[in-house]
Amino acid sequence: MSTSNKDIALSIIHFLKKSVSNNAIAEDYAESMDVAIDCIADAFEVNKDDDSKIVESKFNGKSLGELVQSALSASSASESAASTSSASTAAPSAEDQAAADKLKAEGNKAMAVKDFQEAIAKYTAAIKLNPTNVVYLSNRAAAYSQAADYEKAIKDAEDAIKLDSKFSKAYSRLGLARYANGDAKGAMEAYKQGLEVEGDTKSEAMSKGFETARRRVEEDLEKSIPSDSVQTREAPAADAGAGAGAGAGGMPDFSSMFGGSGGMPNLSEMMNNPQIMKAAQDLMSNPGALQGLMNNPQVRNMAQNMGLGGENGPDLSELMNNPMLKSMANQFMGGGAGGAGGAGNGDSSA
């Protein structure tokens, strides 16, 4: 229930009346109190006889003196609680600090032998003796991470940063815990803040941690891109002279047909490969394309492995320009082209 200035004025009037009736003031001042009551009633435009009614309804029957005393008691209790809280975070005694440092050293030894639960217990005991020591919290964060309790490790590292935002190791522990917990972006941000704190003296651990987290963020971003949005390479059109998948002189890339090894595939496989059949027909109709084809190092290497075009083997261009061989090849290609074309009709993918 809200109170107005008039309510407060009437509570003052009630207090003054009680003071006079209880002889709380000298009798010589009683008349002055009456004058004061009248002045207050006039100033706030209230009926001075309504004081008891207002005190009962607005102040639960408590007089002004009782209300003030209650407020003072509440204030004292609040100050006492604040004092207790301050005492709990005050600097530890010399004895407690020495004991805490000993516990921290024991925790470090436990970490060295990979007894992470023991390390956590030792650091926890040290923190109880001195909860404001950033090193104890940071070390326990590292122990929690080693024990795969990443949520607790993150909390300890964050609490350590709140205690001392310039303590760079806390950022490294936070980055490690977040990364291990599957938050690569959060880890990258923690490492980045740590690098900023380190300034010109950047540590190797912080730098490597940042790069590792950054690469993971980039990989996750790539994986999030739908596969159907990636442009796939299409097979060249049947009448195209050059383009995607084309080799030298407008010919197909033989490395994809021969597996890049330079060897020859099975003859039946060649006959059923529409790209090879089309390439052979193009060679028969365009002798000049052979020279462009031989400029392809993979095709040239393949030909040399077959004993063609080398120092000890016949010249490939002479063979292809031999009228008798050309006639035989045309007859051979003419008989096989239909079969090759038919084999390719059922597959439209690249």
DSSP codes joined into one string, 25-39:
S-GGGHHHHHHHHHH
- Residue 144's pLDDT band (cuts 50, 70, 90): very high
Q: What is the mean pLDDT of residues 178-206?
A: 94
β-sheet bridge partners, residue 252: 246
- Domains, the chain, in order of start with CATH, read 5-76 (1.20.5.420), 94-224 (1.25.40.10), 248-344 (no CATH)
Give CA–CA dist 223/220, Å, rounded. 5
- Residue 199's pLDDT band (cuts 50, 70, 90): very high
Q: What single DSSP character describes residue 246?
A: B
Q: What is the mean pLDDT of residues 4-22?
A: 85
Q: What is the mean pLDDT of residues 14-41?
A: 85
Alpha helix positions (H), the chain: 5-21, 30-43, 51-58, 64-88, 94-112, 116-129, 134-146, 150-163, 168-180, 184-198, 204-224, 254-257, 267-271, 274-285, 289-294, 297-305, 316-321, 323-344
Q: What is the mean pLDDT of residues 215-222?
A: 91
Is the pLDDT at 261 greater than 50? The verdict is: no
Bigger pLDDT: 102 vs 323: 102
Nearest CA to 38 out of 29, 48, 28, 30 is that of 48
Q: Please, what is the Cα angle at 218 between 212 and 219, to 5 degrees?
A: 90
Q: What is the mean pLDDT of residues 267-281?
A: 62
Q: What is the mean pLDDT of residues 6-32?
A: 84
Task: List Cβ<8 Å contacts ≥24 apart for 222-229.
Answer: none
Q: What is the pLDDT of residue 337?
A: 39
With 0-12 CB in 10 A as exposed, 13-18 as middle and 19+ as buried, what is 248?
A: buried
Is the pLDDT at 1 greater than 90? The verdict is: no
Q: What single DSSP character describes residue 63?
A: -
Lowest mean pLDDT among 84-88, 101-105, 142-146, 211-215: 84-88
Bigger pLDDT: 61 vs 36: 36
Bigger pLDDT: 345 vs 150: 150
Q: What is the pLDDT of residue 303?
A: 61
Q: What is the pLDDT of residue 9?
A: 86
- Residue 149's pLDDT band (cuts 50, 70, 90): very high
Q: What is the pLDDT of residue 236?
A: 40
Q: Phi, psi at residue 192, to the nearest 5°?
A: -65, -45
Q: What is the pLDDT of residue 16?
A: 86
Lowest mean pLDDT among 144-153, 205-214, 233-242, 323-332: 233-242
Nearest CA to 336 out of 273, 280, 271 is that of 271
Q: Tokens for 146? A: 């080693």
- Residue 197's pLDDT band (cuts 50, 70, 90): very high
The tens digit of pLDDT for each residue in 103-125 reads: 999 999 999 999 999 999 999 99
With 0-12 CB in 10 A as exposed, 13-18 as middle and 19+ as buried, what is 118?
A: middle
- Residue 316's pLDDT band (cuts 50, 70, 90): low
- Of 67-76, 190-199, 272-281, 296-305, the range with the highest mean pLDDT is 190-199
**DSSP helix/strand/coil, 258:** coil
Q: What is the pLDDT of residue 212?
A: 95
Torsional class of 251: left (φ above 0), alpha (ψ -120 to 50), beta (otherwise): beta
